[in-house]
Structure 1
Amino acid sequence: MNTTKTVLITGTSSGIGLAAAVGAARAGWQVVATMRDTAKAENLTRAAAAAGVAGLVQVKRLDVVDPASVESCLREVLAEHGRLDAVVNNAGAGHVGTIEQSSMNDVRATMEVNFFGVVAVTKAALPYLRAGQGRVITVTSIGGVVGQPFNEAYCAAKFAVEGFMESLAPVAATAGVGVTVVEPGPVATEFVANLGVDVTEVIAAAGPYGEAMRAYVDRTLKAFQEAQTPDEAAAPIIEALTGAAPAFRVQTSPAVREVAAAKLTDLDGSGVQALTRAWLS
């Protein structure tokens, strides 16, 4: 019987997922690092080798929006390692644009990867996690706490994940499974580039929202220039993975904690609205 704890992490080709995979391996875990396109695994394998943990990082294909892919990957993990002690739901994708100018297909696609993908992986993993009284750790976002301009679809998905996990946590606890959500703010990753949009075109296409979009883009680009590193954002994930009794909700920086605290004490919403409106002026 394999005595090394095993964790499956989604979305590990770059950014927080890559850093979490290497960090978990450094902590002594067998890491099943999954991604939709394993041809993009080079950065991860190079980082694992540089950290001296290549033997603990196994790359597998998993597409969170494909149920057959999820089920197949989990069966392989159990067959090869004999156990699954934790899942880190990290895979996600952004979408910038206000609802009037976004297609319903865009909205549905955003919900599929950011919400339904999390649900699918969690649902499939729970029987295995119950067996070992494991943990579900999910990377949400400060955008799952505070709704952000031009991010209606993305924030809706992240809000949904927060609600799903907050509801699941006490139920899972009765079976010995811990649930934690990790809320990053801006992280210096490929996330912005991976949105696949041209900033100039986005502003030009915003029509009556053009000036607001310009202000939002300027603020967002500045925020990402001052962002946490992926290693800094991944550190709370490793703490939630290895700690004796991790909290349900964890923010990755003092700045994110400040914004989250403002939301959670803002009973009529006026404070948050004043904050986010300022991003557009």
Structure 2
Amino acid sequence: MIVLITGTSSGVGLATAVTAARAGCTVVATMRDTSRSAELREAADDAGVTLDVRRLDVTDGPSIDACLAGVRQDYGRLDALVNNAGVSNSDPTMEMSTMEALRATLEVDFFGVIAVSRVAMPLLRAAGGRLLTVGSVHGIVGQPFNEAYSAAKFAVEGFMEGLAPVAAAHGVRVSLVVPGFVRDTRFGRFPDINRTTIQAASGPYAPDFAAYLDWVCGPDLEGAGQSKWEVAQTLVRTLTDPDPPFRVPTSAWVAGYVKPKLADPDGAAVQTLARGWIGAGG
């Protein structure tokens, strides 16, 4: 299986690249800046696997085109795409952020996913392949003080849910893998931003933000965190599942967290309904 993964310089992307390679996949591990590949290469060496590291910036159309053209030329096929690349918005509220920062979050976390997927789709159709996207619990349950990130992940959820029945009719299985809190990554962590600095920038929302942080750091979220390797294992299992569901939580905690919002936890009911709309049957 030839698998292309975005955002592999660290975190879940790095772990997924290594885990997929260990499972026997040929992995094209992409990142915006290949000079930041040392951590990935070290992890691959430690695991005894080889990765094909290439540049791909999800916000740069020519780099997407060049990367996918290179995969087509060198391998003749692409069996799976894992959309993992993403950014976090560090501003505490919509009012405290700038429109530029809000748009930048959507540009990477939503439009970047679509940009890579649409270029990869002809290759995936030809291979009868898989399109996996890393979603988030924040794309199902809107998160206070994470409005831009939640909006981007909600958009990804809706786009992929709409795409899935059409893609399936042409041989491509679409799945959204939904993690919760991943404890051993740098995602959403900023060296110069902490509880004190964000609260100071929160204006009238400072008391609300303080209460929110108490909840995040409190007993309600005990057991919520996973390692990046656990999330990666779920992604690779979904890649190789002969009949993957549309929505795949990465843990029992995630499944419980989104349960109040979802009457259709794995998306099967909506997918069955939507297939009828396009004449694809049940």
TM-score by length of 1: 0.89
Instruction: Work out which of the residue numbers 4, 8, 12 in structure 2 matches 1:12.
Output: 8
Aligned pairs for 1:80-229 within 5 A: 80-96=74-90, 97-188=92-183, 189-194=185-190, 197-221=193-217, 223=221, 227-229=225-227
1:259-278 matches, cutoff 5 A? 259-265=257-263
Structure 2 distance, partners of 1:231, 1:252, is 11
2:25 is aligned to 29
Give 1:278's aligned residue: none
User: Aligned pair 1:59/2:57, yes or no?
Assistant: no
Q: 1:273 is matched with which residue?
A: none
3-state DSSP class of the match of 1:143?
helix
Q: For residue 181 of structure 1, report the CA deviation from its aligned partner.
A: 0.1
Show the counterpart of 1:257.
255
User: What's the CA shift for 1:83?
Assistant: 1.0
In 1: Cα distance, 2:33 partner to 2:177 partner:
24
Equivalent residue for 1:279? none
**Contact 2:82-2:131 at 8 Å conserved across structures:** yes
Quote the residue 2:245 is aligned against: 247
Shift of 1:40: 1.3
How far the C-alpha of 1:197 sits from its partner, in A, is 2.7
Q: Match of 2:270?
A: none
Tell me how far 1:225 sits from its aligned partner.
Answer: 9.0
Separation of aligned partners in 2, 1:195 and 1:224: 24
Change (3 A) 1:106 1:178: same
Q: CA separation of 1:34/1:150 partners in 2, compared to 1, >3 Å: closer, same or farther?
A: same
The structure that is helix-richer by fraction is 1
Identify unmatched segments of 5+ residues in structure 2.
265-282
After TM superposition, give the deviation of residue 184 of structure 1 in Å.
0.3
Structure 1, residues 137-193: CA drift from partner, whole Å, max 9, x if none? 000100010000011111000000000000000000111000000000000211132
Q: Give the secondary structure class of the aligned counterpart of 2:77.
A: coil
How far has the Cα of 1:196 moved from its partner?
6.0
The 3 A distance-change label for structure 1 pair 194 and 238 is farther
CA distance in 1, matches of 2:246, 2:47: 29
RMSD across aligned positions (CA): 1.7
Distance in 2, matches of 1:143 and 1:196, equals 24
Q: Distance in 2 between matches of 1:43 and 1:224?
A: 29
Q: Secondary structure at the match of 2:225?
A: coil
Aligned partner of 1:215: which letter?
Answer: A
Name the aligned partner's letter for residue 158 of structure 2.
G
In structure 2, do the counterparts of structure 1 residues 72 and 195 end up closer, same or farther at CA, with 3 Å as the change threshold? farther
Contact 2:223–2:253 at 8 Å: present in 1 too?
Answer: no
Q: Deviations over 1:221-261 (max 9, x none)?
A: 56599620001111110011111111110001111100111
- Secondary structure (helix, strand or coil) at the match of 2:188 reads helix
TM-score by length of 2: 0.88
SS at match of 2:125: helix
| Residue matched to 1:233 | 231
Cα distance in structure 1, aligned partners of 2:157 and 2:260 = 17
Q: 1:225 to 1:212 in 2, by over 3 A?
A: farther
Checking the alignment, whether the CA contact within 8 Å between 2:180 and 2:224 is kept in structure 1 is no
Q: Does the C-alpha gap of structure 1 residues 221 and 60 become closer, same or farther in structure 2, counting only changes over 3 Å?
A: farther
Is the alpha carbon distance of 1:196 and 1:59 closer, same or farther for their aligned partners in structure 2, counting shifts above 3 Å?
farther
1:197 & 1:181 partners in 2: Cα distance?
30
Q: Percent of aligned pairs with the same residue?
A: 53
